[in-house]
Amino acid sequence: GFLNLTLSDAAITRNLAARAADPARLGVPLAEAPGTTVIDYAQPNVAKEMHVGHLRSAVIGDAVVRMLEFTGEQVVRRHHIGDW
């Protein structure tokens, strides 16, 4: 399926103005009540060869961690090394 979004000119202008006013944070606010999140990613199985799918998982997991940390969240990174 598809999800079509329409943004008004005013919404785009507000968003760009917020980014320009705060270049260090790009208009992204800090979390009001940051907590702790555990992110488990990049789970290679040591009994098998590594492949590009493991790299994809690592990149996506790292991106999620960085976004959460940018909002002020405490993030615990975990890498489960297969269960063989």
Contact 58, 22 (CB under 8 A): no
Contact 34, 71 (CB under 8 A): yes
What is the pTM for the complete model shown?
Answer: 0.71
What is the pLDDT tens value at each position of the chain, 84 positions in all? 899 999 999 999 999 998 999 889 888 889 999 999 999 887 777 788 888 878 888 899 999 999 999 999 999 998 877 665
